[in-house]
Amino acid sequence: MKFTVKNKLSVLLTFLFLFATCKQSGNISENKIQEYFTNPILEDGPDPYVYLHTDNYYYIMVTRGDRLQLWKSRSFTDLDSAETKVIWIQPDSGSNSCCIWAPEIHYFENTWYIYYSGTDKSRPFDMYRHIHVLKNTSNSPFEDTWEDIGQVKTKYPGIDGTVFEYKGVRYFAYSPYIGNQSGITLAIMDSPTTLEKEVNLGLPINEWEKTPPRAIMEGPQFLIGPKDYIFIVYSAGACWDDNYGLGLFSAKKDTNLMNPRSWIRSNHQVFEQCPDSSVYGPGHNCFTKSPDGKEDWIVYHAKRYSSHECSGRSMRAQKFTWDNNGFPIFGKPVSLNYPHKKPSGIID
């Protein structure tokens, strides 16, 4: 942990916590304090995505609006010392010249891909938003060989594309714009930019999925449970809504995932605002593992103030567990002063 002005209070509170928990030992070493971190990981960190590669590095992205920036680190909870680089800037015109949102970096078929949402600055409206793709065949995604390979050919305009492989099948999920609603759609990928078919898993039906003037479900993320279920966790509401939070679809692992009837939607938020801890609008998450693979972590953004604006979203992380049926238990989003023990097996 770096002792900077911006996190002086958090560090002090962390120290006091450690003092209270370790007072019986008679002292607290510097190493003991460094076993902990406090959120935020990144103060300006909307729509975070964390990818753990086979090289044991985490590759991290967040929304930057007009560009794509990449971080590389042994620890996703410490980006102050991470290597970072702006790898792409939006063009002056075209379908990806504005509103560059929710980038995700993936690696498959020996190739790096970045999926991101964008629109045309001359027509910055929902009906023109699409998921675009960059491709890089270099060993390192930091090499300047990114190629724009166009849009994912989705049935509807939409945002927040994500890729997931399960039982040898590569799936794509996104949030389509259908009328004045945004839902969650699942597809099988035929190529990095083409889809074999699409099925809509659902449109907003719960009140917490509806924020006037638009009912929104977005940011789908796959999650494999430890037992019989696979999940799609999504964000519901709107980024300017304090009640923005997470919902969940579950399906048995042995069912046909492309059959919408295989999926059951939660009737309540599974991760929601916590005013007592000054956490508002927690959502647009991803999932990752600790370096040793033993811990599950949820990475998300949230605001520290009730603002009814999208600004002020910071990147945060906390560990989660599972219930006896193999469903995730995310708990409550904790305050920025809460000392988290760093992910297990961290490599300095």
| Exposure of 58 in the CB half-sphere (CA atoms within 13 A) | 27
Considering only CA atoms, which of 142, 117, 138, 116 is closest in space to residue 128? 117
Report how far residue 342's alpha carbon sits from residue 345's, in angstroms, rounded to the nearest whole number. Answer: 9
Tell me, yes or no, if 66 is annotated catalytic: no
Q: Cα–Cα distances in Å, from 173 out to 79, 202, 252, 327?
A: 28, 12, 18, 20
Among 209, 218, 242, 296, the active-site one is: 218
User: Which segments within 39-194 are labelled E, that is strand?
Assistant: 49-52, 58-61, 67-73, 83-89, 98-108, 111-119, 130-136, 147-151, 158-166, 169-178, 181-182, 184-189
- Asked if residues 163 and 115 have their Cβ atoms less than 8 Å apart, the reply is yes
Tell me, yes or no, if 47 is annotated catalytic: yes
Report how far residue 343's alpha carbon sits from residue 348's, in angstroms, rounded to the nearest whole number. Answer: 12
- Asked if residues 344 and 294 have their Cβ atoms less than 8 Å apart, the reply is yes
- Specify burial of residue 226 (Cβ count, 10 A radius: 0-12, 13-18, 19+): exposed
Instruction: Supply the DSSP symbol for 241.
Output: -
Among 47, 160, 242, 272, the active-site one is: 47
- Asked if residues 30 and 22 have their Cβ atoms less than 8 Å apart, the reply is no
Q: Cα–Cα distances in Å, from 236 out to 12, 284, 293?
A: 35, 9, 29
Report how far residue 285's alpha carbon sits from residue 211's, in angstroms, rounded to the nearest whole number. Answer: 19
**Catalytic (active-site) positions:** 47, 218
